[in-house]
A and B are shown apart, each in its own frame.
Chain A
Amino acid sequence: MEQVAFFAGAIGALGGAIAVIALRNPFYSVLALVVHLFSLAGLFLLLHAEFVAAAQVVVYAGAVMVLYVFVAAYVGGVEEPLWDAIPGQRILAPLIGAALFIELSIAVLGSGLKSLGDEGEVIPAGFGSPEAVGRLLLERFLIPFEAASLLLLIAAVGAVVLAARRPAPVDRGGAA
């Protein structure tokens, strides 16, 4: 049962990822990412990270992706031209990505992780529950928690500044 769930989630995640990078229209890419995020949430559940999975769905796939959808709709989907200005980029990029994947796989599948033991420890009950995560956040990780909220504040201020209407820029006719 678990394997089926894993493969379903995996396929969904992979499909969404590939769709994100392959689809021409940015709007479709956004939607593909939403699918990807849902699949990942499922995988998180399999990893006994219930709270994180819920947060993923509510915050990430819910709020953040909605933001993306808004902006994609506002900006409009500009079809990207096929021709690449940088010679060799279209060939080198997949190659290097593949190289990266192969290296990481070798690292994962190599002897280094044998010590981990594939199945892992015995999980106590309530491992990924909100109570456990909450307790950790407010006890051990209080400062990162507060720092994260500070970061959110800064991001919000930044967004406001970026979005503010400025007087129309004077066209000086110079070089850009």
Chain B
Amino acid sequence: MSISTWGWLVLAFPLAGSLLIALLYRVLSAKAAGWIGTLAIALAFACSVGALLGLLDRPADQREIASTLYDYAGAAGIPFDLGILVDPLSVFMALVVTGVSALIHLYSVAYMGSDRGYRRFFSFLNFFVFSMLLLVLAGNYVLLIVGWAFVGFASYALISFWYRRRTATDAGMKAFVINVIGDIGLVFAAILLIKELGVTDYGAVFELAPEAFTANEWTVVAICLLLIVGAIAKSAQAPLHTWLADAMEGPTPVSALIHAATMVTAGVYLIARSYPLFDLAPTAADVAAFIGLFTLLMAATIALVVTDLKRIIAFSTMSQIGYMIVGVSIGAYSAGLFHLMTHAFFKALLFMAAGSIIAAMAAIQDIDRMRGFRRAMPFTCGALIVGALALAGFPGTSGFFSKDEILAFAATRGGMYWIFAVGGYIGAILTAFYSFRIVFRVVYGEPCEEAKELEGGHLAHAEPVNPATGEVEDTDVGFPGPDHHIAEREWPMKVAMAVLAFGALFGGLIQIPGVTHVLESFLEPVFEASPIAATVHVSTTDAYIGMAVGGLCSLLGIGAAFYLYMVAPGSTLRLRDRFRRLHDFLFNRWYFDELLNALAYRPVIACGRFASGTFERVVVDGIVRGAGDGVGGLGTVVRTAQSGFVRFYALLVVAGLAGLGLYFLLAAS
């Protein structure tokens, strides 16, 4: 089978799955829908592997296959076609996406078991995977935007999955609005590209760009900045990051898939794919890198104090994506993408474990209430520990290799880029701290009520409430189902978590500096035109020094957490009281929500109020009613001629006759 066929099949299976589940809604049983969805993604993964094998068969310089289904060039007036590009980068992304998605689908089969909206969930989830694959496989910017928009919709649909929950629908809208801002940036970038170069196809753009633009010319910088707007909105980087924390209102598998492993990495993919443009606009690349650095540090500090388990992991995602953005912006393309892959593994694993724990806690998400699950849920706690180790970059885990590769590159590039290395290592310490904050809280210590219940073999139950506001709900459609599923009792959840744990632990082995460089050599043909990749080579010694520093940072962080939580419990409370202002600043997420509120939301609402209250009422209504009143007034004037008296009408007739006669007399004389 040709590679392009594999490529199209990768797209076709999830779409077919989504449509099938949606159309056969009434006929399918819930479980059948779940397995169909999972099967569709598994088949897509198989086709991605097929595409990979096909690519590997070819020599390294011939691994770019574009395939077009339909060319819209004449019809729509914009130069684009329905075409995909199968090259190492897109196949890599497709593998990551389909692989992790398949496991998450498997997890959801059990986790979402008693939810009344089960089939809708899987239809949307399949649709999401289709959109994400469309995004990564697209061969031109316009189709990328189509996939981008679809992904935004899927995210909205899944965040608001429990649609009767007010907080969930608000979060969905927030996510969608902020994503649309990113979409606007992307669309403008595409418009500029069409205006300047006349093409949107990747191959054509990257060929024409170096000739059309000189370095740092304002057009190409503008294009790249607009692409960055799109990237930071989708990947939840500052300042367009506020939606990600609220997006945790969605079910845990959604958080795992969309808001950890795949959708939020779309921005990283975009920057990596557009690297020729960013090479021409170093200013923009630097802007992106600094945004990544800022977000990295900001999110890490917030994750230190937030108490909702899923939100800690969400801010952790934000922080790690900051690393990836830094990576692809400073030229460490394969390193950034390697971190994307490992992050997908361990973050999805962390979310899955969190889902299991929250289920055990009867839907309570506050980690201050969680304690000592190590005897009640050994498997889940093991998975949690593995994920936390990978996240913290513990030596030997996948996160260790990927994170340190980026930072070593930054150090090697030298000059200004040292700041990224330094910032990255500080971030690593914070990351290690908060990951083990979770572990020491949840796994160790005196078991809490729910844990004791579970040790006794009974899963805790509670009145269904909204975890954020505490208002009482029911378990009908639109709200979470009545049952909670933990990994120890459901084999799909166990299998999925086990595979991811394996990947999180051993995934780093494909890129041990100086020993293996599977990913780097696979992606090399894509990035070979980059001048940075040509000039900056991280020597093995530097890499190992970097890894040593990184390992040290992670151990520091773990040690600090160990001390504060295990050795001297209660010291965190004392720290909080001493640094009350700082704590509140961090707890309120650096007041970014309030800032965006004041900067964007309030002025828009004020404009809206002005428009509807004053402008609409006075100007528009005035014109409309004024026109009506004017005509009515004219009518009232004319109405006096309609007195109803027949003699008056006769008078008018005779007067008209006299007038006519007068006219003819005058005309004749």
Contacts and interface: CB of A to CB of B under 8 A. Distances in A.
Interface of A: 85-86, 89, 92-93, 96-97, 99-100, 103-104, 106-107, 110, 112
Given A96-B654, A97-B654, A112-B668, A104 B647 contact: no
Contacts of B669: 110
Contacts of A85: 645
A110 B665 CA distance: 10
Given A96-B654, A97-B654, A100-B658, A86 B665 contact: no
A150 B655 CA distance: 34
B604 interface: no
B647 A89 contact: yes
Interface string B653-669: 01101100110110011
Given A103-B662, A106-B665, A107-B665, A96 B645 contact: no
B415 to A, nearest CB: 97
A104 to B, nearest CB: 7
Contacts of A97: 654
A104 B669 CA distance: 14
A86 B647 contact: yes
Contacts of B491: none
Contacts of A93: 651, 654
B126 to A, nearest CB: 70
**Is the contact region of chain B dominated by helix, strand, or loop, or is it mixed?**
helix
Given A103-B661, A104-B661, A107-B661, A96 B655 contact: yes
A104 B662 CA distance: 9
B643 interface: yes
Interface string B149-171: 00000000000000000000000
B648 interface: yes
A100 B661 contact: yes
Contacts of B658: 96, 99-100, 103
Contact of B651 (A89, A99, A106, A110): A89
Nearest to B655: A96
Contacts of B648: 86, 89
Interface of B: 643, 645, 647-648, 651, 654-655, 657-658, 661-662, 664-665, 668-669
> 4 closest pairs, A vs B, by CB?
A103-B661, A99-B658, A100-B658, A86-B645
10 contacts: A86-B651, A92-B651, A96-B651, A99-B662, A100-B657, A103-B661, A103-B665, A104-B661, A110-B665, A110-B668
Contacts of B654: 93, 96-97, 100
Nearest to A100: B658
Contacts of B662: 99, 103
A22 to B, nearest CB: 17
A144 to B, nearest CB: 26
A35 B647 CA distance: 26
Contacts of A104: 661
A110 to B, nearest CB: 8
A83 B222 CA distance: 87
Contacts of B651: 86, 89, 92-93, 96
Nearest to A101: B658
A109 to B, nearest CB: 12
B559 to A, nearest CB: 99
A112 B669 CA distance: 10
B628 to A, nearest CB: 28
B661 A86 contact: no
A104 B657 CA distance: 11
Given A96-B658, A104-B661, 9 more contacts: A86-B647, A86-B651, A89-B651, A92-B655, A93-B654, A96-B655, A97-B654, A100-B661, A110-B668
B665 to A, nearest CB: 6
A97 B657 CA distance: 10
A176 to B, nearest CB: 13
A172 to B, nearest CB: 22
A83 to B, nearest CB: 14
Best-buried of A85, A93, A96, A104 by chain B (most CB within 10 Å): A96
Given A97-B654, A100-B657, A104-B661, A86 B643 contact: yes
A97 B645 CA distance: 19
B652 to A, nearest CB: 10
